Amino acid sequence: MHKKRIFSGVQPTGNLHLGNYLGAIKNFVDLQNKFECIYCVVDLHAITNRQNPEELKTNILETIASFIASGLDVEKNIIFNQASVAAHSELAWIINCVARIGWMNRMTQFKEKAGLNKENASVGLLVYPNLMAADILIYKATHVPVGEDQKQHLELTRDIAKKFNNDFNCESFFPIVEPLIPKKISRVMSLRDGKKKMSKSDKSDYSRINLKDDKDLIDQKIKKAKTDTAPIPSTVIELKNRHEAANLISIYASINSIDIDQVLNEFGGKNFSTLKNKLSESIVEQICPIGKEVKKLLKEQSYLNDILAKGAKKASLIATDNLKEIYEIVGLKKFT
Ligand code: TRP
């Protein structure tokens, strides 16, 4: 049996928003007291799309700052950036040789991101899921908190682990990971269109709440958030096909750590302005202190660098040991 260990990664996109917070970081914080947790800023994944090098540097620090500002304990957890631990890339190469091209071609995220011109996408974008599998397997992590959209990548990670264990006759060497998908909100949607994911690349800033938004802006954005004309329903079934309503209700449940049913109990039959006022209040209460702390931390670069260096050291200890075993299994050896 493998020891329970959590691993998750967040891309350094910069300008983190409520979707990143509720979909990932808030869960990381909830898990930190229960398990051994490893949280990584996946900068190598970010370069599967073209990045501005200066912006990338800042975005890595901003993501780490957001982790810390949200309440992740830097002593209790291992917090680091992917590029600092070479074993991720080294295992990713081995996984490139285990996973099949057909598996990659089936990944819906690749199809979405590559768009119509698949031939012109980077090779890195195609093998992105293999690097993700390497991130997880290099620590023999057993549980991975992610949003609903990453479920297929985790299924692939399981297939890769099974094939490796089978090909190299090392039964249960790699654990078969379990996704931990938040129940209250599997994905946070745009405030302008309840069918689209909240995203930093949406042209309208009113589609999202950024962690660095101030109170006035948050109030305005929630006030303007799209709804429909019917009152708030009292049952979950009635939320079907009411995407914008469902989104605001899920956000409220998630940010207050209560169940959807409780929210419907409280607001069922009322109009949206009542919910919106309360929602604004909750978001301001939780997000504004985080945004302020992020801004403050970004001025303390040497503190952030220090945390990243310490995290990298701790992560490397585990990853290097595991890589040694993996090399041995595959028949490779580093002569040093
Ligand atoms: N692909 C994930 C995302 O876009 C980020 C990621 C990279 C990740 N490596 C990971 C998540 C390992 C969980 C575990 O959200």
Say whether 34 is catalytic: no
Q: Are 31 and 125 members of one domain? A: yes
Domain contains 198: no
DSSP for 214-243? -HHHHHHHHHH----SSPPPSSSGGGTT-H
Task: For a ligand 1 pocket test, name from 91, 135, 139, 148 the mutation site with the most ligand atoms within 8 angstroms of its C-beta.
Answer: 135
At residue 15 the predicted structure's pLDDT band, cuts being 50, 70 and 90, is confident
Q: CA nearest 161: which of 102, 111, 94, 109? A: 94
Residue carrying the six token digits 């099949």:
100
Question: What is the number of other CB atoms lying within 10 angstroms of the CB of residue 84?
Answer: 17
CATH number at residue 159: 3.40.50.620
CA distance 140 to 322: 8
Domain presence at residue 193: no
CA distance 219 to 273: 12
The answer on pLDDT for 187 being more than 90 is no
For ligand 1, the distance from its centroid to the CA atom of residue 248, given in whole angstroms, is 25
Percent of the chain with pLDDT over 70: 100
Pair 94, 242 in one domain: no
Q: Which is catalytic among the residues 163, 196, 200, 324?
A: 200
- Average of pLDDT values for 203-210? 97
Q: Are residues 129 and 249 in the same domain?
A: no
> What is the residue whose two structure tokens read 């992105």?
128
Same structural domain, 123 and 37 = yes
Q: Which pLDDT value is given to residue 336?
A: 86
Average pLDDT on 312-322 reads: 98
pLDDT of 222 higher than 90: yes
Question: What is the predicted pLDDT for the residue at 319?
Answer: 98
170 and 255 both lie in a single domain: no
The pLDDT, as a whole number, for residue 46 is: 97
pLDDT at 14: 84
What pLDDT is attached to residue 27?
93
Active site annotation includes 195: no
Mark whether 164 and 212 lie in a shared domain.
Answer: no
pLDDT of residue 322 exceeding 80: yes
Question: To test the ligand 1 pocket, which listed residue (5, 7, 11, 197) has its Cβ within 8 A of the most ligand atoms?
Answer: 11
What are the tens digits of pLDDT across the range 86-134?
999 999 999 999 999 999 999 999 999 999 889 999 999 999 999 999 9
pLDDT confidence of residue 268: 95
Task: Report which protein residue has its CA nearest ligand 1's atom 3.
Answer: 10
Taking only the tens place, the pLDDT of each residue in 154-182 is 999 999 999 999 999 999 999 999 999 98
Residue 336 lies in a domain: no
Residues 121, 92, 75: CA angle, nearest 5 degrees = 115
Question: Distance from the CA of 9 to the center of ligand 1, in angstroms?
Answer: 4
52/177 same-domain check: yes
Domain ranges, residue 214: 205-296
Residue 256, domain CATH: 1.10.240.10
Which residue from 102, 117, 105, 125 is spatially nearest to 11, judged by alpha carbons?
125
**159 and 217, same structural domain?**
no
CA atoms within 13 A on the CB side of 72: 28
- In the 8-state DSSP scheme, what is residue 51? -
In this structure, are 286 and 318 located in the same domain? no
Mean pLDDT of the chain: 96
Same domain, 90 and 141: yes
Please list every protein residue whose CB sits less than 6 Å from any atom of ligand 1. 7-9, 11, 42, 45, 132, 135-136, 144, 146, 150, 153
Substitution candidate for ligand 1 out of 17, 42, 80, 139 with most atoms within 8 A of CB: 42
For the chain, the straight-line distance linking the first and the last C-alpha, in angstroms and rounded, comes to 32
Contact 58, 43 (CB under 8 A): no
- Asked if residue 44 belongs to a domain, the reply is yes
| Residue 195 lies inside a defined structural domain of this protein | no
pLDDT of residue 1: 77
* CA distances for 182 relative to 154, 278, 284, angstroms: 15, 22, 22
Question: 213 and 312: one domain?
Answer: no
CA distance 125 to 130: 10
Q: Give 252-277 pLDDT, tens digit per residue.
A: 999 999 999 999 999 999 999 999 99
Using the atom order of ligand 1, give the atom closest to the CA of residue 129: 1
Strand ranges, E, within the chain: 5-10, 36-41, 78-81, 143-145, 178-180
Token pair of 22 as six digits:
């509720």
Mean pLDDT of 207-236: 96
| Total number of domains constituting the chain | 2
In this prediction, residues 267-290 reach a mean pLDDT of 96
pLDDT digits 0-9 by tens, 17-62? 999 999 999 999 999 999 999 999 999 999 999 999 999 999 999 9
Domain presence at residue 286 = yes
DSSP designation for 189: B
Q: Of ligand 1's atoms, which has the minimum distance to the CA of residue 7? A: 14
Q: How far is the centre of ligand 1, averaged over its atoms, from the C-alpha of 96 (Å)?
A: 17
The reply to whether 192 falls in a domain is: no
Q: How far apart are CA 209 and CA 302, in angstroms?
A: 28
Check whether residue 171 and residue 315 sit in a common domain. yes
- Strand pairing category for 78-81 and 143-145: unpaired
Give the pairing of strands 5-10 and 36-41: parallel
Q: Distance between CA atoms of 318 and 180, rounded to whole angstroms?
A: 22
What is the CA(296)–ligand 1 centre distance, in A? Answer: 27
Q: Is residue 186's pLDDT more than 80?
A: no
Q: Which of 81-85, 111-115, 148-152, 268-272 has the highest mean pLDDT?
A: 81-85
The burial class, CB within 10 Å (0-12 / 13-18 / 19+), for 290 is: buried
Rounded Cα gap, residues 8 and 279, in angstroms? 28
CA 295 – ligand 1 centroid, Å:
25
**3 in catalytic set:** no
pLDDT value at 185 more than 80: no
**Choice among 197, 215, 278, 310 that is catalytic:** 197
Q: CA neighbours within 13 Å on the CB side: how many for 41? A: 29
70 C-alpha to ligand 1 centroid (Å): 19
What pLDDT shows up at residue 39? 98
* Number of the ligand 1 atom closest to the C-alpha atom of 10: 5
pLDDT over 90, % of the chain: 93
* Structural domain includes residue 280: yes
